[in-house]
Amino acid sequence: ATGSVVTWDDALRSGDPSAVAALLTEGIVQVSGTTCAFAAIKATGSVVTWGDAVYGGTSSAVAALLMEGVVQVCANANGSIRWLAPLLLEGVVQVSGTTCAFAAIKANGSVVTWGDAVHGGDSSAVAALLTEGVVQANGSVVTWGDAVYGGDSSAVAALLTGVVQVSGTNCAFAAIKANGSVVTWGDAVYGGDSSAICPLLTGIVQVSGTNCAFAAIKANGSVVTWGDAVYGGNSSAVAALLTEGVVQVCANVSAFAAIKANGSVVTWGDAVYGGNSSAVAALLTEGVVQVC
């Protein structure tokens, strides 16, 4: 693979990287996206951004800090953050984002949060639980933020042991356990209620979420979806292509893209948001190694 980038969907929603096209022809190793912008890490450790400046598409203000040494980029909906310089200068090993907030795990197992308090930026209520050991070592889960949006997991607390991965939609969470089962909580409309497909949620190895739906990859390479049909919860239109061989599923606001072991890509969900990739189908039949 050359490490080049192919984009599709509405250019106004950050699909057109023409301004930085010369920088995206080779060497790209990771791409991350906000609602209307993208950031790509190159093999050199530099970062290229494009899209709506308000959503993080313009990185000129921090260009000197993005020339080398970057190993991970994480995005939220609008790309804006509030710096907590003393706590974020060293030791950060992972960063994750909600719509308007971020959480950083440090090497000592503590967590630092910032951004909109309602969206999880304020973790003071569970601060005592986030001072150490946050590496999923014992498989327990700590939640905070708006209770309706999944900040309150008390209804499934007894089930949240042995957890190895947690993914979220706008208002719900799905946790994969070491035994391959899945526990969901939060707003039912947003995927918080998976009871209708509970018998299918075995042997799960990965879960991804759009705003209102989840897609889970099983150990046999098949995909199970639930949640709002418009947002990708209904994958029946491409079901025949999702019965085996899927190795990664990526989600944006309203659509999913699945990479298969043969390097092809299958998409579903809202066509306006990339659920229909027919315009670039000829470019997605083989050789794809990552989708953002």
On the question of pLDDT at 289 being above 60, the answer is yes
| Residue 235 token pair | 């994958």
Same domain for 213 and 161: no
On the question of pLDDT at 55 being above 90, the answer is no
Total domains in the fold of the chain: 2
16-20, 155-159, 176-180, 225-229: lowest mean pLDDT where? 16-20
Domain boundary among 144, 169, 193: 193
Q: pLDDT for 105-128, tens place per residue?
A: 777 777 777 777 777 778 888 888
Q: Which residues pair with 223 in a beta bridge?
A: 217
pLDDT number for residue 45: 67
Query: How far is the CA of 230 from the CAs of 68, 127, 226, 273, in angstroms?
Result: 40, 37, 11, 11
On the question of pLDDT at 99 being above 70, the answer is no
65 within domain boundaries = yes
What one-character DSSP code corresponds to residue 2? -
Q: pLDDT for 31-52, tens place per residue?
A: 766 667 777 777 776 767 777 7
pTM of the model: 0.64
Neighbour count for residue 154 (Cβ, 10 Å): 10
21 within domain boundaries = yes
Same domain for 145 and 47: yes
Please state, in angstroms and rounded to a whole number, the distance separating the CA atoms of residues 249 and 264.
12
Across the chain, mean pLDDT equals: 82
Same domain for 14 and 136: yes
Same domain for 97 and 13: yes
Same domain for 165 and 29: yes
Same domain for 174 and 116: yes
Same domain for 229 and 187: no
In which domain, by residue range, is 284 found?
Answer: 205-291
Domain boundary among 164, 193, 222: 193
57 within domain boundaries = yes
Same domain for 266 and 157: no
On the question of pLDDT at 6 being above 90, the answer is no
**CA 97 to chain CA mean position, Å:** 8
3 within domain boundaries = yes
φ, ψ of residue 230 to 5 degrees: the values are: -65, -30
Neighbour count for residue 10 (Cβ, 10 Å): 12
199 within domain boundaries = no
Same domain for 216 and 100: no
Same domain for 46 and 179: yes
Domain boundary among 193, 221, 241: 193
Q: How many residues does the chain have?
A: 292
Same domain for 236 and 167: no
Please state, in angstroms and rounded to a whole number, the distance separating the CA atoms of residues 181 and 159.
10
198 within domain boundaries = no
Sort strands 172-177 and 204-209 into parallel, antiparallel or unpaired: unpaired
Higher pLDDT, 69 or 192: 192
